[in-house]
Structure 1
């Protein structure tokens, strides 16, 4: 089972979808990276923390590699101190580069403390921009804290924030470990229900993009992840049942698997599965998406009652497999290479 099953739902499969979701007032593009611009909050402490992260972490790590070298390479420190370099982040803002040491950058622990401040103040206006920049900086949030944030944001009546965050950010620990192989369906059930809640939120007019090709809920990745979760849950349920008996919940899962399988097959032409990302970030995103789709098809093939809807899936899996292996060989992201499905693919290569 792919280790990021639940949270991979929240990554979009095309750059056009991503751009339609990002709020221009809060995220600035610099090349392939995003640099956040935070809005003022009633909390002075939170404002200062956000500004520190922006200036000391997010902007330096969002710069092109050549300029990052000027900031982080000790041999350029003296030169940079005497001959400051000013770069244009966007048409309205310039930033002066200063020497920095990577081990002195704001830590992940401090970033999590900023999230806690947002929860404590109830001000989530910068949450989307902050977690997007965290992801760009390779600062991950584990599933327990991610669920905690979702609960707090939901309690504050900010469900739209959850959708926006989810579409830009994925946590690295699965809420469905060993999905499809567990002795209990509780964890797959929880993850599936949470994913479907987000899918329902995507149906809201404010989150529906114009045109089927730009709407996330019609993308193979979103459908494939929902298929993955339902197929895993169905398998976990069926492992516990007496085959001589019928179970209404299993029948319901069979219908869900069949429905999502049909939708995935119908959406296939809208997907981009190739290893053609222009940056490592894009390549890793494509890999995450492909893992979700591949595992969704692989698991659903083990569900015979959905066989008519999955008859094309073996060929689809065979098509994706060499692409996934190539993408896995080109990434150094351990969170991806240690994924169980990824390991199985590499072992079969």
Structure 2
């Protein structure tokens, strides 16, 4: 049957219709095999999530793997009579045989942006997140665009559920998932997720070490050509002090809390020097009375502030590096206090604490 599929383009339309309604399976052409099989999703405890993933798989992901003539069978109403239960048309993709059923772009396809948000919201159990890489791969193959702010929310949600490791797996498969570190917002969110891993472990030695390793993986991925910003105007995460600052915090926390406040191998000093070299690449400050900006800035700079406190303790406040860190510390403390003031004047309507304040409070409780 493979030869039949390869010769399809040479057939007239009546012949094509006769071929497509044969009970035998039609294999995809060489031009479509590069996409591989349609993503398969693990069953979850949520019937609503299962149904939504199944709809994406059948109505969006499957058609993106088909040749044009097969898609015409799905979408052109005049061909729908050919897709009968008595003589179903099927196609083999990978190890699966899929039945081709009539589809309508308007009524059968979930709205991309709203549905992505719903899928992420419904992912609560640990096992649910195993479906994320395949879901993103399906979206990319179907040419459904996932914007930076959507990736931010996705990563934040995964971090809150303790699944930042799945996000790192998506980053490793960037050419298939589309989740890339060329977007500094994505890089920040992943690093904050690494920090969240330490917080969730209550700063246990295992949690801090796991967070440190993940932070290093993310940093190394920033050098991968597939993650390097290619468009003019995109910021390079490697040149952002808030990204390097998380590495300072990870190594400083490990040294202060578990290595007798000794900078073994000079790792903390190395990351401090890197962070200071790129410090001038971003403006440290809060827009006056803008609670949204204050919330974001506090989330961004609280980990750096805390990392500097620990690094200064390790390196000595009067050492050359310690004095440089002291100057940055004063700069950050001013911004942090301003952000806290703005947020105190704009409490969350449902009584929940703003994210920036939550991050700051969690770090303030960790002894230096």
Please provide the CA RMSD for this pair: 4.4
Pair 42,236 (structure 1): closer, same or farther in 2 beyond 3 Å: same
What corresponds to 1:219 in structure 2? 240
CA distance, structure 1, for counterparts of residue 276 and residue 120 of structure 2 = 40
Alignment counterpart, residue 177 of structure 1, candidates 193, 199, 202: 199
* Alpha-carbon offset, residue 231 of structure 1: 0.6
Maintained 8 Å contact 2:287/2:294: yes
Number of residue pairs aligned between Structure 1 and Structure 2: 246
> TM-score w.r.t. structure 2 length?
0.53
Matched, 1:163 2:163: no
What corresponds to 1:145 in structure 2? 163
CA distance, structure 2, for counterparts of residue 300 and residue 338 of structure 1 = 22
Maintained 8 Å contact 2:302/2:360: no
Maintained 8 Å contact 2:295/2:355: no
CA distance, structure 2, for counterparts of residue 274 and residue 262 of structure 1 = 22
Counterpart of 1:174 in 2: which secondary structure? helix
What corresponds to 1:266 in structure 2? 277
* Alpha-carbon offset, residue 214 of structure 1: 3.3
C-alpha distance after superposition, 1:179-211 (max 9, x if no partner): 9x95x5322111111111111111123433479
Instruction: Tell me which of the two structures has the higher relative contact order, counting C-alpha pairs closer than 8 angstroms and 6 or more residues apart.
Output: 1
What corresponds to 2:219 in structure 1? 199
CA distance, structure 2, for counterparts of residue 273 and residue 168 of structure 1 = 15
CA distance, structure 2, for counterparts of residue 159 and residue 185 of structure 1 = 32
Q: How does 1:87-126 map to 2 (within 5 A)?
A: 106=118, 109-110=121-122, 117-119=131-133, 123=137, 125-126=139-140
CA distance, structure 2, for counterparts of residue 190 and residue 128 of structure 1 = 32
Pair 118,178 (structure 1): closer, same or farther in 2 beyond 3 Å: closer
Maintained 8 Å contact 2:299/2:359: no
Pair 330,204 (structure 1): closer, same or farther in 2 beyond 3 Å: same
C-alpha distance after superposition, 1:125-174 (max 9, x if no partner): 45982783274699733252232343466479858736368327456671
Structure 1: gaps (5+ residues) = 1-40, 59-105, 242-246
* Alpha-carbon offset, residue 53 of structure 1: 5.8
CA distance, structure 1, for counterparts of residue 206 and residue 123 of structure 2 = 31
CA distance, structure 2, for counterparts of residue 300 and residue 139 of structure 1 = 27
Maintained 8 Å contact 1:118/1:124: no
Q: How does 1:207-246 map to 2 (within 5 A)?
A: 207-209=227-229, 214-239=235-260
CA distance, structure 2, for counterparts of residue 125 and residue 321 of structure 1 = 42
Pair 267,156 (structure 1): closer, same or farther in 2 beyond 3 Å: closer
Pair 157,140 (structure 1): closer, same or farther in 2 beyond 3 Å: same
Maintained 8 Å contact 1:128/1:164: no
* Alpha-carbon offset, residue 261 of structure 1: 1.3
